[in-house]
Structure 1
Amino acid sequence: MKVTETKLKGCYIIEPRVYHDHRGCFFESFNQQEFEAAIGEKVDFVQDNQSCSYKGVVRALHYQVGAYAQAKLVRVLRGRVLDVAVDLRKDSPTFGDYIAVELSDENKKQVFIPKGFAHGFITLSETAEFFYKCDSFYQKEAEGGVVYNDPDINIDWMLPKDEIILSDRDASLPKLKDARL
């Protein structure tokens, strides 16, 4: 696998080795030993999540705080999304900065998002099936979020505002300056 650290320390883009032949393709989507050697730390994933979304759906920007903070390894099983990670580590020189990576069933890229980041994505294809591993169990009382269109972060979601579909919860999330970190 090819592992590339992004401008946000600890956040990596992972590209598996894909083997193609006349039958299709094969790749290892996760190998804990190789993964940990590449990022230089031990990560024990305990929960897998999967969502299906229509074009324009934004699921963002979510995180968990305190002892329930989560590291995530995210990928797309079908379709295409723009995946976004925002650095929420107050002592980080990149606090409030973000990366955006196109993930698809074609490019098979993955993103490792460490603890201390908000995460979200927008579906760019007609539908998308999104899959991610978490290293901590979800706890409702620990959930936090930042509104997707916070002007201080200024994420380009690649679709016009009138094509964006949000849940009521995501539409009412606070700006980063007002978020519980």
Structure 2
Amino acid sequence: MLILPPLKKLEHLEVLSLAGMQTVCDGFVNEFVVACGHNMKELVFKDCVDEAIAAFVETSGELLKELSLNNVKKVGHSTALSLARSSRNLLSWDLSCRNMTDEAVGLIVDSCSSLGKLKLFGCGQITNVFLDGYSNPELETIGLKMSPVLEHTWVPDSPEFPLRYSSVHPSL
């Protein structure tokens, strides 16, 4: 809460990372959103334990282009509903948490038609129900066991291209 007064003076603030700040509380997010939320385009809550993300999204979701909820422990149904209602312009979303269901993620993806990238690292609860059910054909989903993360990585077929520090000799 001590950082809130100086942040309120930044009238044109568009990006704020609160990553790793374990003391972020609902009161801070609510006051910040009222004061500065109208300009925010990116707000990172990585490794926070705050539950007021839904309030921020309700207020400023239409401005969001990217959202990282990576490892935010209490992201759940209310955040999903807020994102589905208010974040139609979201292009990239890093969920990478373990609390949203297939249905919640599907609701967001189906509602945010401009969403192009969804990161789901560590989201073991997301199943083929989601992967086979959402309606956004342009969405790139990465980070699940079922998705090939290294799909576009080129690996040489023959030893004529040894790794730089490889013990394989090029003449072999």
| TM-score > 0.5 by shorter chain | no
Tell me the TM-score normalized by structure 1: 0.28
Tell me the TM-score normalized by structure 2: 0.29
Larger radius of gyration: 2
More helix by proportion, 1 or 2? 2
Which gives a bigger RCO, structure 1 or 2 (Cα 8 Å, sep 6+)?
1
More strand by proportion, 1 or 2? 1
